[in-house]
Amino acid sequence: MSEQPVAPQLTGKQNRFLRGLGHGLRPFVMIGKQHLSEDVVKATHEALGTHELIKVRIQEGCLTDRKTVATELASETGSAVVQIIGHTFLLYRSAEEPTITLP
């Protein structure tokens, strides 16, 4: 059985920095009626491994609360929730070879 990755702890300054970087991003992952299916978690895990910071969009078919979805997806992928605005949220997880240098 594999262990869940540990979510990074971000300071306020790092959070603000990542929110600025995430502003212009397009959503990589869409969450719909299926909520957090295995495919959604896998796609999110792969996107975080490649890009470190991703935007996730919750479509109108998802009946679960946005904060719950963000928290569950972050814990499944070992990432940190950077920001939740409307139906989108940002997730961050440092890669093995990071491209984003946090302040």
Mind listing the domains of the chain with CATH numbers? 12-92 (3.30.110.60)
Its pTM stands at 0.87
- Average of per-residue pLDDT across 28-38: 86
SS percent in the chain: helix, strand, coil, step 5: 35, 20, 45
Counting residues of the chain whose pLDDT is more than 70, the rounded percentage is: 92
Q: What is the pLDDT of residue 87?
A: 92
Q: What angle do CA 16, 22, 25 make, to 5 degrees?
A: 170
Contact 50, 64 (CB under 8 A): no
Residue 2 confidence (pLDDT): 46
* Separation CA 58–CA 98 (nearest Å): 27
**pLDDT of 4 above 60:** no
- Residue 1: per-residue pLDDT: 38
Of 31-35, 73-77, 84-88, which range is least confident?
31-35
Instruction: Give the pLDDT confidence score for residue 7 in this predicted structure.
Output: 63
Residue 42 tokens, joined: 């896998």
What is the mean predicted confidence (pLDDT) over 34-54? 90
CB 90 within 8 A of CB 82: yes
